[in-house]
Amino acid sequence: MLLPDKAAADWIDHRDALQAWLAALPPGNAIGLDTEFMRRNTFYPQLALLQLGWDGRNALIDPLAFAIGDALQPLLGAGPAVTVMHSASEDLETLAPLLPGGPWQLFDTQIASAFVGLGLGISYRALVAELAGVELDKGETRSDWLQRPLTASQCSYAALDVAYLKTIHEQLVRRLQQRDRSDWHAQDCERLKRRASQREGDPQPQRGMRAAAEWPAGQQALLRRLLLWRDRRARQLDVPRPWLMDDALALSLAQQRPASLGELEQRGRGQRALRAAPRSELFALLAEPLTDDDIASTARIPGHPQGEAKKALGAMKQHVDNLAADLDLPPGLLCPRKALEEYVVTAEWPDLLDGWRREVLHDGLARLLPG
């Protein structure tokens, strides 16, 4: 059964009230944080609600009513508080304009759960059931959080998303310490913060387009040019990337450049943000010759492992599985398959496997590289 007071929360819609609520926090206290945001028609997520919780007190903060960033920064961005979040990546991205470096100390409960044997990617609802013995209602998952006023059901749902983080955090801290995994967890939380704070996007976005792995270097460089332009322009227009140019069109244009602006207009039908001005800009970009520097600065797209590389991948996967069993970790947490495939094809150690993973994995995997 849900306890009624767990869903209670202070509604805060002006700065003085938020500062007073935050001032009541003991120094260095762990504070639960969650967000509700909307991202249907925009590039950037729109923060619609911020939830905070500590020691049985919850607050629902309305970012549509006043600017909340300056009030949050001293405590969360630069202060000693431990910010407890569940599956924080999207929330951190949403909060990036307010907390550019993320919380000073982040504790992600989903990551911690994987380190202590509760499974990879466990949901908040399942974690609350496991560690607090409470079944949560997820009926407001698809709510319109930008509407005002929020309904009583929405407010209750939002408050419960932070109400149990203190209980969960305390148990997970103990279990991490028992397994001597606290440092590994902290490293992964820092990695999460760094990734969320990278506001400029991936400088080599073509590497995710495996369909182009066998293309000539020049075509891969052109694809990179198109994807970088798409990312930059989508940010400027604040529209989803596919509205400007979806992946299929990007691949098609890199393979066969349009002979005229009219042809580009015809091929770009259905891209709702590819209107006159950005379409002309894209056409000029396609017509601009590639330079040697363009090609040299484009990282090759890693293809699917073939032949000896495929055999080596199998051996590496077995090595990871055995090591994960010894460490009592999910194999996907220790070494995602995508990182293995990249390594076996390029022989370059993936950034994803730096830190504690490099210490654990490097020597064993390096010995299995083909050739």
Q: What is the dihedral of CA 174, 178, 183, 185, to 10 degrees?
A: -60
Distances (CA, A) of 175 to 87, 108, 114, 131, 325: 18, 14, 11, 12, 18
Query: Looking at residues 276-296, what average pLDDT do you find?
Result: 97
Say whether both 107 and 150 belong to one domain.
yes
Is position 371 within any domain?
Answer: no
301 in a structural domain? no
Report, as an integer, the average pLDDT of 207-232: 97
SS3 119: coil
Q: Which CATH number fits the domain that encloses residue 102?
A: 3.30.420.10
Phi and psi of 121, rounded to 5°?
75, 30
How many structural domains compose the chain?
3
Owning domain of residue 263: 205-296
CA 192 to chain centre: 7
Half-sphere exposure of 200 (CA within 13 A, CB side): 2
Q: Are residues 54 and 70 in the same domain?
A: yes
φ, ψ at 57 (rounded to 5°): -110, 135
Q: What is the pLDDT of residue 5?
A: 55
Question: Average pLDDT of 65-90?
Answer: 92
Whether the pLDDT of residue 1 is over 60: the answer is no
119 and 46 within one domain: yes
Over residues 214-238, the mean pLDDT reads 97
**pLDDT (tens digit per residue) in 112-164:** 999 999 999 999 999 999 999 999 987 777 789 999 999 999 999 999 999 99
Last residue of a domain, one of 296, 316, 334: 296
- Entry pTM: 0.92
Contact 41, 240 (CB under 8 A): yes
Peptide bond into 4 cis (omega under 30): no
Does 3 score more than 70 pLDDT? no
Residue 303 belongs to a domain: no
Based on the fold, state whether residues 239 and 257 are members of the same structural domain: yes
pLDDT value, residue 116: 98
Domain shared by 184 and 313, yes or no: no
Mean pLDDT for the chain overall: 94
Residue 97 has pLDDT above 60, yes or no: yes
- 89 neighbors 192 (Cβ within 8 angstroms): yes
Between 143 and 335, residue with greater pLDDT:
335
Mean pLDDT calculated for residue range 327-355:
95
Q: Given phi > 0 = left and psi -120 to 50 = alpha, else beta, which region is 305? A: beta
**Would residue 17 count as lying in a domain?**
yes
Q: How far apart are CA 123 and CA 113, in angstroms?
A: 10
Domain boundary among 140, 170, 197: 197
Residue ending a domain, choose from 148, 163, 197: 197
CATH code, domain with 219: 1.10.150
CA distance 47 to 63: 7
Residue 13: per-residue pLDDT: 97
pLDDT, position 9:
94
Q: Are residues 324 and 245 in the same domain?
A: no
Indicate the pLDDT class of residue 371, thresholds 50, 70 and 90: confident
Angle at 201 between CA 220 and CA 365, to 5 degrees: 70
On whether both 76 and 224 belong to a single domain, the answer is no
278 part of a folded domain: yes
* Nearest in space to 299 (alpha carbons), one of 227, 236, 219, 207: 207
Q: What is the pLDDT of residue 2?
A: 38
Residues 148 and 253 in one domain: no
Using alpha carbons, select from 124, 131, 3, 109 the residue that is nearest to residue 58: 3
pLDDT one-digit tens code per residue, 182-197 = 999 999 999 999 988 8
Tokens of 62: 């309305």
The distance from CA 304 to its chain's CA centroid, rounded to whole angstroms, is: 24
Q: With the C-alpha atoms ordered 260, 247, 91, 61, is the resulting torsion angle positive or negative?
A: positive
Domain contains 118: yes
Q: Give the CA angle between residues 290, 293, 296 to the nearest 5°.
A: 105
The pLDDT of residue 182: 98
Count of other CB atoms within 10 angstroms of residue 102: 25
* 268 and 355 part of one domain: no
* pLDDT for res 200: 79
pLDDT above 90 as % of the chain: 86
Check whether residue 33 and residue 93 sit in a common domain: yes
- What per-residue confidence (pLDDT) applies to 219? 98
Identify the three-state secondary structure at position 303. coil
Structure tokens at 97: 């304009």
Asked whether residue 234 is domain-assigned, the answer is yes
Q: Predicted confidence band at 318 (pLDDT cuts at 50, 70, 90)?
A: very high
For residue 179, tell me if it sits in a domain.
yes
In terms of domains, do 270 and 220 share one? Answer: yes
Q: What is the dihedral of CA 9, 12, 15, 18, to 10 degrees?
A: 0
Query: Which tokens belong to 336?
Result: 């995602």
Asked whether residue 32 falls in the same domain as residue 152, the answer is yes
**Helix or strand or coil: residue 176?**
helix
